[in-house]
C-alpha cells in the first residue's frame, strides 16, 4: 500500500515519482505523485488563509474529499489485485496509526486551551465534541447543532473543522466493504474488479449527488455536514482513480487543464459563498478543478502547473498539511477568544498562521516521526502494534474528556438541587419592589452561567417547542379542560422563553394554557424564509398551528408583536395580516413586544468579565416607541403588551437582576428569570384580557 493513502491533509512520505508516457497516459501505479502533494499544499493553505483573513470557506476541504476517494480507491484496488482480498484489519490499523496520534495531541491541546481561556458554560458541549471528533462523528454533532436554533447561538467551536475528518473516517470504514462487494460481484459476473467497482461507484456518485442537490436546497445547514450529501465528492475521486489510466490527452491539453484547474480552485472561495451554497452541484467547481489538476499530472512541460506544484517549498507544506489543517482552526479560535476580536488583523492572522505552521512542524517531526521511528523495527510493523499505538493516544483523550464531563454533570446536579428562595433570588421582583435591593444578600448568581443553557422550562423539556428541522406541531396543555378561559401561547423561541411566567399566571387564575412554538418560525402570514430559501418546515408548522387554533378557538392568543434585531426593531411583514385573520376567527390577540437583543452572550460575558461590564442599552435594538403601537390600522382584536422594563429596568439590560441571570445567550432569557416575571405577566394579562 502506498504511503500516501489519504486526501485529508494526511501524513505522507514521498517515494516514487509518477510519469506520463509518450501517448499522454497518466500512469498511477501506486507511486508517489508529487503534484498531488503540491495540490494538497494549495488546498490546505487556501483553507487556512480564507479562514484566518477572509472569514470564508475556500472549497479546499472539497479537494481533500476528492483526493481521499482517489488515493484510497487506488490503494485498495491495487491491494485486492495483488492479494485477492481486502485485508481489513491491516488497512484500518495502519490508518489508525497514522491519523490518530496527531488528532489526539490536538484534542489534548484544545482541552487545555478550553480550561485556560474558554468560559465554563461552554465546557460540557465542547467535551462532548472532543469525544465526537476522536470517534469520527463530529459532522453529525455539528449537523444537529445546525438545525438547533439555540445551539446555533453558541460561539464558534474550536473543534468545528473536524467535520471533514469525520466524514473521511466514515468513508474509511465504508470503502473496503464496498470494494469487497465489488470483488464478489466481479467474480460472479466474470468482470474485472475495476469495471465492477466502477459500476457501483458511479451509481453511488449519482445517488449521493442527487441527494446532495435536494437536501442542500431544502436544508443547506444540515447538508453541509451530512455524509450522504458529501459522499459523491469521494466517489468522484474514486471514479477518477478507476479510469485515469485510460485517459490519453495531448501534453498541451494537460498543461491547459493543470493551470485552468488551479486558477479555478484558488478563485472558488472568492467568487462563491461556499459555506451557504455547498455541497450541492455547486461543489463540482472545486472538485472538478482538482480533478483537472490530477488529470494533467506530470506534464514534463516547463510551462505546466506541475512545475509550481512540485516546487520543493510547496511540497514541504504538503507534507505538513495534515498538521496544519488540524492546528490552524483551534489556534485561530483561541486567538479570537483571547483578543476579543471577531476577525484577525493582518498581523494577528500572520501570527496565527505562523504558530499553526510551527505546531504542524513539531507534530510532524515529534508525533508522526516518533511513531514512524518506533515502528521501524520488524516486530512492531504488525496491525496489532498499530492498534496499540492508536489506542495509547486515543484512550486517554476519551477517558479524560468523559471523566471531566461526569464531574461537570455532578456539579450541575448539586446546583440544581439548591432551593432558590424568592427572598434570596427575587429576580424581576426587585423591579416592582426596589426596596428589596437594600436587603438583597450577596450570593452566587443563579442559574450558574455553566448551567444557563440547560435552564429551560417544562415547555422545552416536554418537547412542546420544536426545532428548526421539525415541521409537525406539538401541542401541550396545562390547566382544567373546562376552564372559563383558554389562552394559547404561539410563536418562535422568543415567545417560548416567556412560558414559565405565563404558566404561573394561568395557574394562578385557573386558565387553560395551550402552547406550541417552533424555533425560527415567526407566526406570520408572510412566507417564511431561512438562508434565502423558503422555510418549508415553518410553513407546514404554521398551517397546522392555524388549523389547531381554528379547532381550539381559544379566548386569546399570546404572540410576538415586534421583532428586534441587533440594530433595529420592526413589525415583520405578515404579522398584522395574521392578526386580521385571527380577528375573522373571533380570537383575541395579545401582542407582546420583543425583548432587546444583547451584543454579548449573557452567561459567557458574566464568566469572562466583571458583572458591571455586562450591560447594554435596550435602545441598541429597540425603538423609542413600540412600532406596533404606531401602525396606521391596528386590528380591533389586538391588545399590546410591553414588559421590557421588567427585563431591562431603567433602559439598561443587565446580566443579573435580583441575583438571577437574565439572558443566557444574545436574545433568550433563562427559565429561572422568566419565572420571576410571573407577577408582572399576570398583571399585564389580566389588564389586557379583563379576565
For residue 560, list its beta bridge partners.
Answer: 592
CATH class given for the domain over 457-597+623-645+670-689: alpha beta
Using the predicted structure, report yes or no on whether residue 89 has a pLDDT greater than 80.
yes
Query: What pLDDT sits at residue 346?
Result: 94
For residue 248, list its beta bridge partners.
Answer: 25
C-alpha cell at 297: 499530472
Using the predicted structure, report yes or no on whether residue 210 has a pLDDT greater than 70.
yes
Longest C-alpha distance within the chain, in Å?
Answer: 93
Query: What pLDDT sits at residue 21?
Result: 37
Model confidence at 351, pLDDT cuts 50, 70, 90, reads very high
Contact 671, 500 (CB under 8 A): yes
Report CA-CA distances (Å) from 489 to 462, 476, 551.
Answer: 15, 10, 15
What CA–CA distance (Å, rounded) separates 515 from 520?
A: 16
Using the predicted structure, report yes or no on whether residue 508 has a pLDDT greater than 60.
yes
Using the predicted structure, report yes or no on whether residue 26 has a pLDDT greater than 80.
no
Kindly state the average pLDDT of the residues 191-198. Answer: 94
Contact 295, 257 (CB under 8 A): yes
Pairing of strands 512-518, 476-478: antiparallel
Model confidence at 5, pLDDT cuts 50, 70, 90, reads very low
Query: What pLDDT sits at residue 56?
Result: 85
Query: What pLDDT sits at residue 149?
Result: 56
Contact 491, 517 (CB under 8 A): yes
Query: What pLDDT sits at residue 414?
Result: 87
CATH 3.40.50 placement within the chain: 457-597+623-645+670-689
Query: What pLDDT sits at residue 519?
Result: 94
Kindly state the average pLDDT of the residues 448-474. Answer: 91
Kindly state the average pLDDT of the residues 469-477. Answer: 93
CB neighbours of 529 closer than 8 A, spacing ≥ 6?
Answer: 535
What CA–CA distance (Å, rounded) separates 555 from 420?
A: 34
Return the SS3 of 104.
Answer: helix
Q: Which residue pairs, CB below 8 angstroms and at least 24 apart, start in 263-266?
A: 264/288, 264/289, 264/292, 265/42, 265/43, 265/46, 265/59, 265/60, 265/63, 265/289, 265/290, 265/293, 266/42, 266/46
Pairing of strands 660-661, 656-657: antiparallel
Model confidence at 152, pLDDT cuts 50, 70, 90, reads low
What CA–CA distance (Å, rounded) separates 21 from 342?
A: 51
Contact 510, 484 (CB under 8 A): yes
Report CA-CA distances (Å) from 498 to 478, 557, 678.
Answer: 15, 14, 9
List, for residues 623-673, the tens digit of each pLDDT value. 999 999 999 899 999 999 999 999 999 999 999 999 999 999 999 999 999
Contact 320, 13 (CB under 8 A): no
Kindly state the average pLDDT of the residues 264-282. Answer: 90
Using the predicted structure, report yes or no on whether residue 17 has a pLDDT greater than 90.
no
Query: What pLDDT sits at residue 642?
Result: 96
Amino acid at each position: 500500500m502506498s504511503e500516501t493513502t489519504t486526501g485529508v491533509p494526511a501524513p505522507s512520505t514521498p517515494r516514487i515519482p509518477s510519469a506520463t508516457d509518450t501517448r499522454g497516459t497518466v500512469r498511477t501505479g501506486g507511486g508517489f505523485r508529487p503534484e498531488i502533494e503540491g495540490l494538497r499544499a494549495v488546498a490546505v493553505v487556501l483553507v487556512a488563509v480564507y479562514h484566518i483573513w477572509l472569514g470564508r470557506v475556500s472549497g479546499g476541504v472539497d479537494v481533500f474529499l476528492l483526493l481521499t476517494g482517489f488515493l484510497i480507491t487506488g490503494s485498495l484496488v491495487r491491494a485486492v489485485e495483488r492479494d485477492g482480498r481486502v485485508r481489513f484489519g491491516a488497512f484500518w490499523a495502519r490508518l489508525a496509526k497514522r491519523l490518530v496520534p496527531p488528532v489526539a495531541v490536538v484534542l489534548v491541546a484544545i482541552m487545555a486551551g478550553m480550561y485556560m481561556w474558554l468560559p465554563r458554560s461552554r465546557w460540557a458541549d465542547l467535551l462532548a465534541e472532543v469525544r465526537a471528533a476522536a470517534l469520527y462523528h463530529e459532522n453529525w454533532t455539528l449537523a444537529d447543532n445546525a438545525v438547533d436554533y439555540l445551539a446555533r447561538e453558541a460561539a464558534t467551536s474550536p473543534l468545528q473543522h473536524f467535520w471533514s475528518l469525520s466524514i473521511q473516517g466514515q468513508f474509511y470504514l465504508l470503502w473496503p466493504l464496498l470494494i469487497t462487494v465489488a470483488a464478489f460481484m466481479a467474480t460472479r459476473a466474470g468482470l474485472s474488479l475495476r469495471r465492477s467497482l466502477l459500476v457501483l461507484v458511479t451509481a453511488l456518485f449519482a445517488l449521493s449527488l442527487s441527494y446532495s442537490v435536494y437536501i442542500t436546497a431544502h436544508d443547506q445547514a444540515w447538508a453541509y455536514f451530512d455524509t450522504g450529501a458529501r459522499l459523491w465528492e469521494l466517489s468522484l475521486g474514486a471514479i477518477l482513480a478507476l479510469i485515469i489510466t485510460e485517459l490519453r490527452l495531448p501534453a498541451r491539453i494537460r498543461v491547459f487543464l493543470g493551470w485552468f484547474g488551479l486558477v479555478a480552485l484558488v478563485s472558488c472561495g472568492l467568487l462563491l459563498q461556499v459555506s451557504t451554497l455547498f455541497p450541492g452541484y455547486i461543489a463540482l467547481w472545486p472538485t472538478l478543478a482538482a480533478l483537472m489538476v490530477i488529470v494533467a499530472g506530470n506534464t514534463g512541460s516547463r510551462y505546466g502547473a506541475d512545475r509550481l506544484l512540485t516546487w520543493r517549498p510547496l511540497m514541504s507544506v504538503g507534507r505538513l498539511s495534515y498538521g496544519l489543517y488540524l492546528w490552524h482552526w483551534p489556534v485561530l479560535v483561541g486567538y479570537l477568544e483571547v483578543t476579543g476580536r471577531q476577525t484577525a488583523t493582518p498581523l494577528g492572522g500572520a501570527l496565527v498562521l505562523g504558530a499553526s505552521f510551527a505546531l504542524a512542524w513539531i507534530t510532524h517531526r515529534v508525533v508522526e516521526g516518533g511513531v514512524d521511528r518506533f515502528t521501524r523495527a520488524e516486530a512492531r510493523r504488525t496491525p496489532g502494534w498499530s492498534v496499540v499505538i492508536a489506542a495509547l493516544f486515543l484512550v486517554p483523550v476519551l477517558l479524560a474528556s468523559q471523566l471531566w464531563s461526569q464531574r461537570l454533570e455532578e456539579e450541575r446536579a448539586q446546583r440544581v438541587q439548591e432551593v432558590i428562595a424568592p427572598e434570596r433570588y427575587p429576580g424581576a421582583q426587585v423591579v416592582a419592589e426596589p426596596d428589596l435591593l437594600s436587603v438583597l444578600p450577596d450570593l452566587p448568581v443563579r442559574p450558574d452561567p455553566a448551567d444557563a443553557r440547560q435552564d429551560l422550562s417544562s415547555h422545552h423539556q416536554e418537547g412542546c417547542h420544536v426545532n428548526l428541522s421539525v415541521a409537525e406541531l406539538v401541542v401541550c396543555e396545562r390547566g382544567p379542560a373546562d376552564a372559563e378561559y383558554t389562552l394559547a401561547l404561539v410563536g418562535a423561541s422568543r415567545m417560548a422563553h416567556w412560558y414559565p411566567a405565563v404558566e404561573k399566571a394561568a395557574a394562578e387564575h385557573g386558565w387553560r394554557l395551550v402552547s406550541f412554538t417552533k424555533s425560527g418560525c415567526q407566526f406570520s402570514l408572510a412566507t417564511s424564509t431561512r438562508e434565502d430559501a423558503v422555510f418549508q418546515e415553518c410553513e407546514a408548522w404554521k398551517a397546522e398551528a392555524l388549523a389547531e387554533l381554528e379547532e381550539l378557538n381559544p379566548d386569546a392568543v399570546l404572540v410576538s408583536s415586534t421583532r428586534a434585531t441587533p440594530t433595529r426593531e420592526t413589525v415583520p411583514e405578515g404579522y398584522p395580516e395574521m392578526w386580521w385573520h385571527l380577528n375573522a376567527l373571533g380570537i383575541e390577540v395579545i401582542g407582546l413586544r420583543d425583548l432587546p437583543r444583547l451584543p454579548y452572550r449573557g452567561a459567557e460575558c458574566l464568566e469572562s468579565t466583571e458583572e458591571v461590564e455586562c450591560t447594554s442599552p435596550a435602545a441598541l435594538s429597540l425603538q423609542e416607541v413600540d412600532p406596533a403601537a404606531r401602525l396606521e390600522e391596528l386590528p380591533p382584536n389586538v391588545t399590546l403588551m410591553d414588559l421590557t422594563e421588567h427585563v431591562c429596568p431603567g433602559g439598561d439590560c443587565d446580566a443579573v437582576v435580583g441575583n438571577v441571570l437574565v439572558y443566557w445567550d444574545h436574545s433568550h432569557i433563562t427559565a429561572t428569570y422568566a419565572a420571576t416575571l410571573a407577577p408582572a405577566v399576570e398583571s399585564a394579562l389580566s389588564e389586557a384580557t379583563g379576565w
